[in-house]
């Protein structure tokens, strides 16, 4: 399974000159990641209780669900968007990087909201399954907030750097 | 007495680089080592195994949807709403990771990985559109996972249905991205590097 067939797919793709066409891929990816995140935010604010059925709605619970919207999809989706924008650099990559900045920032904000909610109300269901307690739950949200800030910072720097000017 | 560099052989070597330059050099060397490990580490086989397991996981999910008694309901719309979730986060993001790894190899394993990623992307698109259909067909007996956040959220208004459809459409769109990436990378393997042009006979 390790027969060498010469150049890798990525190298051949660049030689074919089809790289500029793929800059749209990063933009499309980020648009859909943000669409899914927006739908999650809507659901958190609209339903705001565990079952999803009409019933008691607590704002702290809404905020808890809102905090989850900045989780894996927003963070890892934005990170993948940054990688796609840099690998397939083109005219639309700068926009994709700006959208990734937004996604990362939202993950950061949502993570901070999660930390606040955890320390405000212990009865709100926690994020951590393995450990019980406020500190571990807060740590999970804090980690995602930090990941979001890293993604946002990297995306912002790429969009403003020399690479960014090449992209734009 | 001095060597070619003009220094005496016993002269101590002094690293005149700034700390930032040293860190940059160290980072570059680390990246080269990482690249060398990637090139020679059999990671193309790892990408293939990753993609196989990911598809196996998806198939098991699909099987459980048809096999399990979903919330005690045998309603086919209920089953369809859970079937629509099988092409979600794990499949799309996992397929992108496999494609990214396979793109750095020119082996048969990498090619097979890309073909499997095509299958994964296709299923994400199909399940996403199925989710869109289910979102607009909700009835009292059929719970719909509105935003695929893990909670069962039955839409209570047309706006809720639109948002649920948007979330499902989002995953279908991400599946399209996986398809395009894998297709483009596969295309470079099956077509000649010069785009099929041949030199004219003398």
CB contact under 8 A, B151 and A43: yes
Higher pLDDT, A4 or B43: B43
Question: Closest approach of chain A CAs to the CA of B166, in angstroms?
Answer: 7
Question: From residue B33, how far is each of B24, B26, B28, B40, B101 by CA, in Å?
Answer: 14, 11, 9, 11, 17
Distance in angstroms (rounded) separating the CA atoms of residues A22 and A91: 10
Q: Give the model's confidence band at A117: pLDDT under 50 very low, under 70 low, under 90 confident, else very high.
A: confident
Please name the residues in contact with A18: beta carbons below 8 A apart, sequence gap of 6 or more.
B184, B188
The single residue listed with the structure tokens 């099988």 is B86
The pLDDT assigned to B140 comes to 47
Asked whether the predicted pLDDT for residue A113 surpasses 80, the reply is: yes
Asked whether the predicted pLDDT for residue B6 surpasses 90, the reply is: no
**A11-15, A60-64, B39-43, B155-159: which is most confident:** A60-64
Distance in angstroms (rounded) separating the CA atoms of residues A113 and B69: 37
Q: Which of B20-24, B85-89, B95-99 has the lowest mean pLDDT?
A: B20-24
Distance in angstroms (rounded) separating the CA atoms of residues B147 and B137: 16
Distance in angstroms (rounded) separating the CA atoms of residues B119 and A148: 31
Per cent of chain A over pLDDT 90 is 30
Question: Using CB atoms, which residue from B104, B154, B163 is nearest to A39?
Answer: B163
Chain B contact set for A44 (CB, 8 A): 149
Q: Taking residues A61-84, what's their average pLDDT? A: 86
Chain B contact set for A38 (CB, 8 A): 166
Q: Which of A22-26, B39-43, B96-100 has the lowest mean pLDDT?
A: B39-43
Interface check B174 vs A, CB under 8 A: yes
Distance in angstroms (rounded) separating the CA atoms of residues A38 and A144: 17
Question: Closest approach of chain B CAs to the CA of A10, in angstroms?
Answer: 5
Is residue B186 within 8 Å of B98, Cβ to Cβ?
no
pLDDT tens string A128-167: 444 456 787 888 889 989 999 999 999 998 888 755 555 5
Interface check B193 vs A, CB under 8 A: yes
What is the reported pTM?
A: 0.74
First-residue to last-residue Cα distance in chain B: 63
ipTM value = 0.75
Interface check B54 vs A, CB under 8 A: no
Alpha helices in chain B (DSSP H): 19-40, 43-67, 76-83, 89-102, 108-136, 158-190
Q: Which of B64-78, B93-107, B140-154 has the lowest mean pLDDT?
A: B140-154
Chain B contact set for A8 (CB, 8 A): 103-106, 110
DSSP label of B7: S
Name which of B95, B106, B162, B172 to mutate to probe chain A: the one with the most chain A Cβ atoms within 10 A of its Cβ.
B106
Q: How many other CB atoms are there within 10 angstroms of residue B67's CB atom?
A: 9
Alpha helices in chain A (DSSP H): 9-15, 23-46, 59-68, 72-87, 93-120, 134-160, 162-167
The pLDDT assigned to A130 comes to 47
Largest CA distance in chain A: 63
Distance in angstroms (rounded) separating the CA atoms of residues A64 and B16: 54
In the A/B pair of chains, how many CB contacts fall below 8 A? Answer: 136
Task: Pull the structure tokens for residue A139.
Answer: 């740590």
CB contact under 8 A, A9 and B181: no
CB contact under 8 A, A25 and B180: yes
Q: A147: burial class by Cβ within 10 Å (0-12, 13-18, 19+)?
A: buried
Hey, is B202 helix, strand or coil?
Answer: coil
């Amino acid at each position: 399974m390790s027969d060498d067939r010469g150049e890798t797919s990525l190298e051949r793709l660049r030689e074919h000159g089809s790289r500029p066409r793929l800059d749209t891929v990063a933009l499309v990816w980020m648009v859909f990641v943000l669409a899914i995140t927006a739908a999650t935010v809507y659901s958190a604010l609209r339903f705001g209780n565990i079952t999803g059925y009409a019933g008691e709605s607590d704002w702290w619970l809404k905020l808890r669900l809102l905090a989850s919207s900045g989780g894996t999809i927003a963070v890892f989706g934005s990170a993948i968007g940054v990688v796609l924008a840099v690998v397939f650099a083109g005219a639309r990559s700068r926009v994709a990087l700006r959208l990734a900045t937004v996604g990362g920032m939202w993950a950061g904000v949502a993570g901070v909201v999660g930390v606040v909610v955890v320390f405000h109300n212990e009865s709100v269901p926690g994020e951590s399954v393995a450990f019980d307690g406020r500190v571990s739950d807060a740590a999970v949200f804090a980690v995602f907030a930090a990941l979001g800030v890293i993604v946002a910072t990297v995306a912002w720097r790429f969009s403003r750097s020399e690479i960014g000017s090449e992209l734009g | 007495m001095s060597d070619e560099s003009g220094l005496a052989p016993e002269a101590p070597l002094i690293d005149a680089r700034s700390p930032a330059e040293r860190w940059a050099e160290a980072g570059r060397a680390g990246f080269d080592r990482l690249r060398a490990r990637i090139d020679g580490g059999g990671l193309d086989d790892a990408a293939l195994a990753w993609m196989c397991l990911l598809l196996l996981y998806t198939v098991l999910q699909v099987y459980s949807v048809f096999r399990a008694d979903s919330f005690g309901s045998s309603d086919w719309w209920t089953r369809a709403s859970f079937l629509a979730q099988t092409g979600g986060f794990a499949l799309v993001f996992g397929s992108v990771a496999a494609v990214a790894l396979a793109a750095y190899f020119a082996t048969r394993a990498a090619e097979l990985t890309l073909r499997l990623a095509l299958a994964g992307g296709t299923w994400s698109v199909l399940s996403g559109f199925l989710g869109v259909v289910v979102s607009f067909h909700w009835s009292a007996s059929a719970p719909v996972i509105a935003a695929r956040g893990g909670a069962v959220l039955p839409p209570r208004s047309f706006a809720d249905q639109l948002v649920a459809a948007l979330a499902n459409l989002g995953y279908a769109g991400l599946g399209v991205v996986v398809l395009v990436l894998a297709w483009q990378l596969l295309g470079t393997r099956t077509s000649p590097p010069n785009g099929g042009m041949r030199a004219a006979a003398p």
